[in-house]
Structure 1
Amino acid sequence: MLAAYLPGNSTVRLAEVDRPVPGPGQVLLAMKASTICGSDLRAIYREHLGEGPEAYQDVVAGHEPAGQVIEVGPDVHRLGVGARVVVYHISGCGQCDECRRGYQISCTSPQRAAYGWQRDGGHAELLLAEERDLLELPDSLSYLDGACVACGFGTAYEALCRVDVSGRDRLLITGLGPVGLAVGLLAKKLGASFVVGTDPSPERRAAAERLGAVDAAVPGTDEELTGLLGDGAEVAVDCSGAGVAQATAIRHTRRWGRVGLVGEGGQLTVDVSEALIHRQLTVHGSWVSSTGRMAELLERLDRWGLHPEVVVSDTFGLAEASEAYALADAGLSGKVGIVWP
């Protein structure tokens, strides 16, 4: 079968590999959609920067997969052939406190392996997955919807739950890439009364407004944000991973407000007393999500009639993975996906 690897230096390598065979507790999925994440670009595609949980082990790429079960191994009891599923992209030890809570993302066991990082991911025709890592996809949602949930929308929803967004709140989003779009779309469903987004890219600002993810999108100067938000938003979420934007999010959160930091990377320097303590801010670091929260999100997307695939601007076949990654890395498009018929 055909599979895509990321050797670094902004390249993609395609190779023919053997068909996987499911063992105990495992299922074999026919891939239907596998989207590209900013973390793939930052830590693998350009150069292999990762250590620890970001250490890429030359496996099949792609940590945002959705597909259909075509074969099950022994001791598989919940899912059968034909099930439509989303892959929670970290397979943990299953025994530590984090895994027991559903936050396999935070598992520190040597057994922890992320799909597309330390074990084969979704950029192949078939994917071997642990049954425990799979969430059933409601019939109303497409496979591309599911792939968007596997990381990006799941990450956005977790952060919004952490900062407890509701109809009481105005929301500031710094960074309007795919995760920022997801934050805006979900925040609207959770009741946020006014959503402002910032991004240096005019293309991304226009997309955010066109999709209804924000009520206003601006480059993000202090003057612009003060004009829109006065003394600040009740809630801010940074999705950029850039220190300047992270500082902007904190600076334009009003006293007693809440800040969520989602974007990976960046160096943030603040005067702790002036910026945080004296203004009574609560700052949350939020890393991906849990299986429980992701299952909750899938149910709510079904109920809300919200389709995450609206943030996908371009799709490619697996044989075109090199073009897909180059477009995603340019940082001007929406979400980029690899899809199968």
Structure 2
Amino acid sequence: MAQAVTRQREEAMRGVILPGNRTVDFREIPIPQPQHGQVLVKVMASAICGSDIRAIYRAHIGEGAERYTPGMIAGHEPCGQIAAVGPGCQALKVGDRVSVYHISGCGVCDDCRHGYQISCTSPVRAAYGWQRHGGHAPWMLADERDCIPMPASLTYVDGAMCACGVGTAWEALTRIGVNGGDALLITGLGPVGMGVAMLGKALGANKVIGTEMSAMRRKMALDLGLVDEALDVDDKTLARIKDLTRGRGCEASIDCSGSAGGRLLALQGTRQWGRCAFVGEGGKIEFDVSPLLIHPQITLFGSWVTSLKHMSDLLDHLDRWGLHPEKICTTRLPLSEAARGYKMADQGEAAKVCFVFDGGV
């Protein structure tokens, strides 16, 4: 196996790049060799995230942590198998199955020491698929510390889903402490919202209510048993939420829509003394603070992705609970159909798109 990998590393590979303007292209680069503390990952599954669509595919609008380096191989939700290890690696070995945390931080700031590399502000911080080559290629180079071993029960698509989207869902749920005493409201039933619903039920939420404009996604969430109620979004939605909770609203709510309307509905649908988290990216919101936040004594959280430790916990819990986030993935395509996959994701034709490689199904 080692000889085969060596021969392949001497060759080149084709990976997906995102020039902007809703286009997809391919770039050929040499298959990299791991340096000190690095591993070479044979990619088995690599999913499209909503932030890829919002900040890169449509146009290069990201700044700072969300800037995209033109020509960089995309894909920040990768999962695969260790094909080679560089000198200095301490834990991983060839053949290990890993999900890759998509931010590589400086490793020495307070946020990195707590596992929140997403919040690292060092100039050396880099995201796979944004400032470092990502998972939309047959091979990718990663720092060993960014790779999390996966339980044998989980699939590669499960691992890709957890690398960002479902990890984001898990972080928000743990941040607001969802438990069996809660009714849970989710505004936006995209991949993250469905992940919140799946995990919220596993944590014991006694009623899970989702709101979503897409009829396809509402039906999917119901058919998969992720939510107890899937409500359309109109001027009667809030009243329906109150009817379902004896007029009080939900103890916990999470906005996954990233829209002003979704965020406002999440706050309005939270009961007095409840907890609300915003995880949907982008946009702005304006609301009357006193009646919606201060007077009902609501605690509002901002939650951004997750930590290395919480992502590891998530993988362990999925194994223990027998849950598979891959069931949220409606479309699996070979990398050669990347343009089709990004178009489907952009137009809302799929709940989740994942590129799978040989052996990654």
- Answering whether residue 338 of structure 2 is matched by residue 326 of structure 1, we say no
Q: How does 1:1-341 map to 2 (within 5 A)?
A: 1-58=13-70, 59-220=72-233, 221-229=237-245, 230-341=247-358
Matches of 1:46 and 1:225, distance apart in 2: 34
**How many Å separate the matches in 2 of 1:254 and 1:15?**
51
Normalised TM-score (structure 2):
0.93
- One-letter amino acid matched to 1:334: A
Contact kept in structure 2, 1:204 and 1:332, CA below 8 Å? no
SS in 2 for 1:124: coil
1: distance between equivalents of 2:232 and 2:23? 31
Deviation at 1:270, TM superposition (A): 1.4
Name the SS of the counterpart of 2:164 in structure 1.
helix
* In structure 2, distance between residues paired with 1:330 and 1:128: 31
The one-letter code sitting in structure 1 at the alignment partner of 2:81 is: Q
Is the 8 Å Cα contact of residues 201 and 332 (structure 1) preserved in structure 2?
no
Cα displacement string for residues 205-234 of structure 1 (whole angstroms, at most 9, x for unaligned residues): 001101111001011322322222322101
**Segments ≥4 residues shifted beyond 3 Å:** none
Q: Take 2:337 and 2:27, find their aligned partners in 1: how far apart are those partners?
A: 13
- Alignment-mate amino acid for residue 50 of structure 2: G
8 A contact 1:172–1:195 mirrored in 2 = yes
Measure, in 2, the Cα distance between the counterparts of 1:174 and 1:338: 27
Unaligned runs of 5+ in 1: none
Residues 9 and 45 of structure 1 are in contact (CA less than 8 Å); yes or no, is this contact kept in structure 2? yes
Q: Distance in 2 between matches of 1:212 and 1:184?
A: 9
Instruction: Using structure 1 for the length normalisation, give the TM-score.
Output: 0.99
Counterpart code for 1:20:
P
Cα distance in 2 for residues equivalent to 1:240 and 1:86: 25
SS of the aligned residue for 1:23 comes to: coil
Aligned partner letter, 2:115: G
- Bigger mean CA offset, 229-238 vs 94-103: 229-238
- Matching residue's letter, 2:118: I
Q: Could you tell me how far apart the structure 2 residues matched to 1:143 and 1:43 are?
A: 25
**TM-fit CA distance, 1:130:** 0.1
> How far 1:14 sits from its partner (Å)?
1.1
Q: Which amino acid aligns with 1:201?
A: S
2:60 is paired with a residue whose SS is coil
What does the per-residue CA deviation read over 1:160-184, in whole Å, with 9 as the maximum and x for residues that have no partner? 0011000000000000000000000
Cα distance in 2 for partners of 1:132, 1:199 equals 37
In structure 2, distance between residues paired with 1:236 and 1:16: 44
Which AA in structure 1 matches 2:54?
R
Distance in 2 (alpha carbons) for counterparts of 1:332 and 1:245: 20
Output the amino acid matched with 1:11. Answer: T
SS of corresponding position for 2:163: helix
Q: Identity of aligned pairs, percent?
A: 55
Distance 2:32 2:97 in 1: 19
Shift of 1:15: 2.1
Structure-2 separation of matches of 1:179 and 1:213: 12
User: How many matched pairs?
Assistant: 341
Determine the C-alpha separation between the residues in 2 that align with 1:239 and 1:84: 29
Residue aligned with 1:292, SS:
helix
Q: Secondary structure, in 3 states, of the residue corresponding to 1:258?
A: strand
